[in-house]
Amino acid sequence: MREVAVVGAGMTRFGKYIDRSMKDLAREAVDHALRTAGIEPQALQAAAVGNAVAGLITGQECIRGQVVLREMGIGGIPVINTENACASSSTAFHLAWLYVASGMYDTVLALGMEKLFHAEKRRTFEAIGSAIDLEQADAFAREMSGEQSVGAGQSRSVFMDYYANLARRHMAEYGTTKEHYAGIAAKNHTNGSLNPHAQYQTPRTVEEVLAAPLIAEPLTRMMCSPIGDGAAAVIVTTAAKARQLTSTPVFVRASTLGSSQEHDPHAPGIVAKVAAKAYAMAGLGPDDLDVVEVHDATAPAELLVYEELGLCEPGRGGQLVADGVTSLGGRLPVNPSGGLLAKGHPVGATGVAQIAEIFWQLRGQADQRQVPGARVGLTENGGGVLGGENAAASIHIFSV
């Protein structure tokens, strides 16, 4: 396998863009990625395009990638559409990496895009809620603890109840507190205030997070990722080509993708298993990381991922928060972009947006949210739920 590098990245500000098309959003992200890579569209030999639910929101199905890229003058090349819930564009990146690593192509675009916001909110929540086994939907709702699931999938995403249930279990087993979760949300909202691409750019305190309206105990609104639209794009190429284009290429040390499967409840879950493969591929471990972007669809999700990635022992995620380890200025900043909580979560764009953030961090281009001296970064992106865990999970490791 050939060594692969990222040489360009671009993204829109995430937000609610009822009057902007997916073509418009994608063009902004792709144009910026091409400019930073210093290449023309004609240099692209293939493209992988991630999108999750635009078909349910806009009606555009089947050829979403071809539709948006053709109007940019990008055509005549293989365009692969990837739909993998919230991991749609990290899956697209995995394919782009594989294209280059295998030797099939030298320069490939990975694009993530989403039109999620809709004037009729129930339509959005139903689209998000399709990322479970719909034949088991009633059982899934019952597992979310009876009355607390009233309104799930209609006035809010069903996944808020899923994460609330996990949060309550962690609190009961390990003594984790609502304040720990609020600390993550306050950290990420404050980080988002430093990120011009973030949907929310207002710093928050723990007290403000706790005082926000309750969504599903123990989650307040500020502990939950928002609905939004957006796009993100990166360019990957060979290490040799990357060194010709830039003096600061970001190398892909690991690209892994997995799916849920039946396992003993006490055995490692999908994130831990995919992480182990990524660490082995990169020849690195948790102690080697300088900066991390994780899938904080809710604040408890971030805390759980700390443990699944091996950043701490099981049950110790709350202590990382309390000690400031994962804050900017801490030993291992997590979600300096603001994460999904503040940067936003247009689901099909999230995975590549995480990669773009790590690209900027490792090149020292993250401005006020820059992690000093960052040389190794990791992204973790999950999608859907099956059997009590992510249906899909993707982890990438990068270095300079």
Number of domains in the chain: 2
> Does one domain contain both 277 and 189?
yes
pLDDT at 230: 98
User: Do 234 and 381 sit in the same domain of this protein?
Assistant: no
CATH number for the domain including 165? 3.40.47.10
The reply to whether 149 and 175 lie within a common domain is: yes
Q: Tell me, yes or no, whether 176 and 285 share the same domain.
A: yes
Instruction: Using alpha carbons, list the distances in angstroms from residue 3 to 36, 253, 399.
Output: 20, 8, 12
Length of the chain: 400
Tell me the H-state helices in 175-282.
178-192, 206-211, 239-245, 270-282
> Strand 79-82 vs strand 46-50: parallel, antiparallel, or unpaired?
parallel
Residue-number span of the structural domain to which 338 is assigned: 136-225+254-399
Q: What is the per-residue pLDDT for 125?
A: 87
Set 32, 86, 170, 197: catalytic member: 86
pLDDT of 174 reads 97
197 flagged as catalytic? no
Sheet holding 389-399, edge to edge: 79-82, 46-50, 107-114, 230-238, 4-11, 250-259, 389-399, 376-386, 291-293
Coil/strand/helix, residue 394 = strand
Residues 36 and 54 in one domain: yes
Q: Are residues 235 and 359 in the same domain?
A: no
Terminal C-alpha separation, the chain? 19
124 domain residue, yes or no: no
Kindly name the residue from 94, 180, 197, 345 that is annotated as catalytic: 345
Q: Is residue 18 part of a domain?
A: yes
Is 345 known to be catalytic?
Answer: yes
* Tens of pLDDT, residues 306-320: 999 999 999 999 999
pLDDT < 50 stretches in the chain: 146-147, 153
- Quote the radius of gyration of the chain (alpha carbons, Å): 19
Q: What is the reported pLDDT for 154?
A: 54
102 lies in the same domain as 150? no
Position 137 scores a pLDDT of 77
Is pTM beyond 0.75 here? yes
Q: What digits encode the pLDDT tens for the residues 158-200?
A: 889 999 999 999 999 999 999 999 999 999 999 999 999 999 9
